[in-house]
Amino acid sequence: MFANFGIDLFVTAATFGNLIGYNYFLRIAPGSNLITAMVAAFQSGRDIWREKYIKDLASYLLTLPVPRRTFAVSRITGGVARSLIATFPGTLVISYLYGILLSPRLIEAFLVVGLFSLGIVGLSMAVSAFASSIEVFATLRSAIQLYLSFLSTIFYDVTLFPELVQPIVHTNPMTWAIQAFRAIGNQGSTLYPISILVGPSLAFALLGAICYLWYARL
């Protein structure tokens, strides 16, 4: 995962930085880390899908002496923890670039990554509950990743999008996660972007939990 982040940041973002300017490199740098978080979070859904369709482990797991709701919540928590661990070095690198590595604001950076991952883990679990084949899972994953990456403010301002598309960009959790990181970098308050990010993240996590409970009915 760190290698993935490294390629995104030190190859793609650095090259666009040279093409456009160093400020642009700093502007898109947190996107590399959030894209890594997104990929790591989606692995949770893929694991659940594989447990059911490939490894035939789902029925065994559901015989464990754990209530279904607790089990669903633990899957989400595990996914978020995994994503935080996978992006740990990346978050440190971005914090270094933004000059907050040794500041208490580092906690805010991890909070943003955790909140963002929460929503994506929920989405990936919802997808895994309904995708009957790996192709469907991969297609939905790809579509969601396209939406998160390209219809967000990672690379460009929301004002550059056609008016019709702007509401889609505004409701994208990636937009608010990246805005929160930029606020950290500008020494501004993250309260506003984080308070908006909480909405879709909790909604997606709830959706994931509900879908997982539905799927766990067997």
Partner 1 sequence: MSFSTTQVKDSNSLPGGDSTSRLVLQMARRDISTLFRTPWIIISRSLAFIVQLFVFAYLISGFVVKFPNYFEYYAVGSVVGTIASISFIIGYDIFEEAEEGLLDYLLTLPISRRQFIIGRALGGAVRAMIYTIPMFVIVALMEKFSNPLSLSFAIFDLFLLAFGVTGLSITMAVSVRSANRFDVTLALLELAVSRASTALYPLAFMPSYVAAFAPYSPVTFAADSMRDVLEGTSLNFLSIAGLLAFVTIFVGVGATFYFRRLEGGVYA
Which parts of this chain interact with partner 1 (CB under 8 A)? 1, 3-4, 7-8, 10-12, 14-16, 18-20, 24, 39, 43, 46, 50, 54, 133-136, 138-139, 142-143, 146, 150-151, 155-156, 160-161
Minimum separation from the CB atom of position 150 to partner 1 (A): 5
* Burial 123-146, CB ≥16 within 10 A → b, else e: bbbbbbbebeeeeebeebbeebbe
Q: Find how far residue 114's CA is from the centre of its chain.
A: 8
Contact 65, 33 (CB under 8 A): no
Cβ-based nearer residue to partner 1, 21 or 199: 21
Q: How far is the CB of 42 from partner 1 (least distance, A)?
A: 11
Nearest distance, CB of residue 108 and partner 1, angstroms: 28
* CB 18 to partner 1: min, Å: 4
When the beta carbons of 50 and 170 are compared against partner 1, the nearer one is: 50
Question: Which residue number, 143 or 191, has a Cβ lying nearer to partner 1?
Answer: 143
Exposure pattern of 66-104 as b/e (b: 16+ CB <10 Å)? eeeeebbeebbeebbebbbebbeebbebbbeebebeeee
Residue 62 C-beta: closest distance to partner 1, Å: 21
**Residue 106: exposure state from Cβ atoms within 10 A (0-12, 13-18, ≥19):** middle
- Distance CA(49)–CA(215), nearest Å, equals 10
> What's the token pair of residue 30?
């947190």
Using the minimum distance from each CB to partner 1, give the nearer residue, 128 or 201.
Answer: 128
Task: Return the number of the residue (77 or 142) whose C-beta is nearest partner 1.
Answer: 142
